[in-house]
Amino acid sequence: MAEKSTKVGENMLWGGRFTGKSGLDPIMVSYNESIYFDRAFYAEDIKGSIAWARANKNVGNLTEQEFAAIESGFAKVHQEWKDGSFKIIPGVDEDIHTANERRLGEIIGKEIGGKLHTGRSRNEQVATDMRLWLREQLRQIESYLIDFLKVIAARAEQEVDYIFPGYTHLQRAQPVRWSHWMLSYGFQFASDLERLREVIARVNRSPLGCGALAGNPFGIDRVAMAKELGFESLLWNSMGAVADRDFVTETMQWGSMLMTHMSRWAEDLIIYSTSEFHFVRLADAYSTGSSLMPQKKNPDSLELLRGKSGRAFGQMAGLMMTVKGIPSTYNKDLQESVEPMLDHVKTVGDSIQIACGVLSTLKTDPERMLAALDPFMLATDIADYLVRKGVPFRETHHISGKCVALSEQTGTPMDQLTYEQLKGIDSRFNEDVSAIFDYEKSVEMRSAAGGTSKKSVEQQIKVLKEMLA
């Protein structure tokens, strides 16, 4: 009796080409396999395989009975993955495609199971699986982002009367509505939502039926398969289709931009939550304490959001460096697109949900916000007052600066400078100048579209809600 071969690689889909006695280096086996991360695509791989089998039945490569057996067998394979009973065979199941096909053959017999891969390449298969998986994940992320934006809009409505310092260079600048600050980020996230919808449309294109690189020789109906799998259109060049990972890169570019916005949003809230500012207070569910100092309440959720933005950007940059120099069509380097994609999608999805939770439970202190306002922040209003008297703005800016200087020199708050002191700076001041020193009036003066007046902010809320549709 001939001795049974135990060479590693013997049962691989590509194993017939390799007849050496030594087999693969065991380290190479683990280095090459992707089953322990691409098993995330088990459902998509099965769905794509059923569509593939149906297309082969329609061109006569499978009988009705063979197709029925494949469809029924895959239902059992799917259930095993779902309930956790699927057994991965190390060294044999190098990826999800191999594992599913191997198990299908065990269930329905290798003679029928062996027909499944007719005319198909793993090059198109992995691209199909990734696109199907990513499409659904991005649709879920879209729903998370919409929920977050709804919270921003709702809080902007509820807290529209709160006025607090607006900052440039992290220095007090002008009074604005708290809602205006929230909406400044709200519109950035709304732009992210618009871009995400564009990304989803480009992800949702089918490579199935493109073969290894040259196309399919059996007249497979690619349009029918695409419709069955919910794809909106086809990738029209077989060589480009199997090589394309732009859809992963673009997803990560999108995620990196969103996380940049998320990081800046988190940084503002970290600052506003400090004892020095105390404009907001995080819920205990999104904070931690110190192991040494019992009085501490640390904004760990926001710090992690800020930190994970670097993680997201690194994944994107890493993949771009991987693909930038590889030659056309499929190369194994492209396997490196899967793990970062999986982690990136989870990181971004989790981050949006955390941000939504933080904002939903955030406590604001409008009295502390009001107390942080400073009469110096109305210096521009003095200049605007004089403009309305017919004084050129360049001149009014200089006059307003003199008012600031007098306030500093005398130690007198600017709103308490006397009419005589102001008249001494410029004779065009009238007694009505005292009406300038009103924070509510200041914000209401900024009434042009996009400004911080109540009417303008309410218009922004309306526009933001429309963008969610």
Q: What is the DSSP string of 407-467?
A: HHHHT--GGG--HHHHHHH-TT--GGGGGG--HHHHHHH--STTSSSHHHHHHHHHHHHHH
Please give the CATH topology (third level) of the domain spanning 122-371: Fumarase C; Chain A, domain 2 (1.20.200)
What is the longest distance spanned by two Cα atoms in the chain?
Answer: 116
The pLDDT assigned to 25 comes to 84
The pLDDT assigned to 469 comes to 85
Strands 163-168 and 280-281: unpaired
Name the token pair of 179: 């809602």
- The arrangement of secondary structure in 15-113, i.e. its CATH architecture, is Orthogonal Bundle (1.10)
Burial class (CB in 10 A: 0-12, 13-18, 19+), 465: middle
pLDDT tens digits for range 386-395: 999 999 999 9
Tens of each residue's pLDDT in the chain, 469 residues: 333 344 445 555 555 555 555 577 888 888 888 999 999 999 999 999 999 999 999 999 999 999 999 999 999 999 999 999 999 999 899 999 999 999 999 999 999 999 999 999 999 999 999 999 999 999 999 999 999 999 999 999 999 999 999 999 999 999 999 999 999 999 999 999 999 999 999 999 999 999 999 999 999 999 999 999 999 999 999 999 999 999 999 999 999 999 999 999 999 999 999 999 999 999 999 998 766 676 668 999 999 999 999 999 999 999 999 999 999 999 999 999 999 999 999 999 999 999 999 999 999 999 999 999 999 999 999 999 999 999 999 999 999 999 999 999 999 999 999 999 999 999 999 999 999 999 999 999 999 999 999 999 999 999 999 999 8
Which residue ranges make up each domain of the chain? 15-113, 122-371, 375-438
Total-model pTM: 0.92
Comparing C-alpha atoms, which of 209, 174, 102, 222 is closest to residue 377?
174
The pLDDT assigned to 32 comes to 87
Task: Please give the positions annotated as active site.
Answer: 169, 290
Angle between helices 454-467 and 178-203 (to 10 degrees): 20
If you ran DSSP here, which 8-state letter would residue 288 be given?
Answer: B
The pLDDT assigned to 295 comes to 66
CATH code of domain 375-438: 1.10.40.30
Distance CA 184, CA 426 (A): 37
Burial class (CB in 10 A: 0-12, 13-18, 19+), 212: middle
Burial class (CB in 10 A: 0-12, 13-18, 19+), 176: buried
The pLDDT assigned to 2 comes to 38
pLDDT tens digits for range 164-216: 999 999 999 999 999 999 999 999 999 999 999 999 999 999 999 999 999 99
Name the token pair of 247: 């859809």
Residues whose CB is less than 8 angstroms from the CB of residue 185 and which lie 6 or more positions away in sequence, other chains included: 152, 261, 264, 265, 268
